[in-house]
Structure 1
């Protein structure tokens, strides 16, 4: 178990770095210095909220891209996940599918430190900055909405 967690985290770091670059590219563009993760985004969801969310089917990166209507970059394969990026409705998205629920939870928990909004489904995750857009996706795809840290922005 420990070795698997270490391997997942080691493989997740490049994905998190890519997520940080996408998620922070709009920082500072909000009104009065409020970044995209600032006030007005509501409370952060917890893993308990994820367990209570409406059920969602297991989707691949390609299926997620088709659902949101974007063309994904070539997926990057990690030890426990595949990741691609795309832009839909003016929102940069990170699309992920996972081999295990444990790997997914480790990735989401680590990534939330960098801000953003996460739609967490059955071994798939979408990440972006536009909470309203992510809420609209949630009604279509299911899953639980989780908010990353705002770091005082």
Structure 2
């Protein structure tokens, strides 16, 4: 079931990352100049496509990040703000992100997921970040017994 949720989430993210032009109703390629001319990119378009780099995503969300994990499969940084803390995780390849999402699906949480990056924060903050970063909000309900159940 977790794989189907991740797969379905990927299907939702794919059109957003492949053809999103930042809120317009036309496909991303429409209204652009020919291939020989430099492409026209509005400020809104530049904001919506966040790069897969912890420091840049942190800057777009308004924080100075502290890197806490540097590994071949991922980089993770933590942002401390007055409104709460949040994590930014980036991946060198999409497959590492998919493995990470599959692994964390057993835990309850809400995440903003983009192309090779994930932001873990309170849902209200994720809604705000989505306006700047793009991506898809994913909810995991976790698995196993709840705290209220008895053995």
* Interval containing the TM-score (normalised by the shorter chain): 0.5 to 0.7
Taking structure 1 as the reference length, what is the TM-score of the superposition? 0.61
Q: How much does 1:106 deviate? A: 0.8
2:16 equivalent in structure 1: 53
Unpaired runs of 5+ residues, structure 1, are 1-43
The change in CA–CA distance for 1:108 and 1:88 in structure 2 (over 3 A counts) is farther
- Partners of 2:69 and 2:134 lie apart in 1 by 24
Unaligned runs of 5+ in 2: 1-5, 21-48
Give the secondary-structure state (helix, strand or coil) at the position aligned to 1:96.
strand
- Report Cα offsets for 1:46-97 as digits up to 9, x if no partner: 3322223355342311111111112222341122110111123512211111
Q: Is the radius of gyration larger for structure 1 or structure 2?
A: 2
Across the aligned residues of Structure 1 and Structure 2, the Cα RMSD in angstroms comes to 2.3
- 4+ residue runs of structure 1 moved beyond 6 angstroms? none
Tell me, what secondary structure is at the counterpart of 2:52? coil
| TM-score, length basis structure 2 | 0.62
Report which of the two has the higher share of helix: 1
Equivalent pairs counted in the alignment come to 109
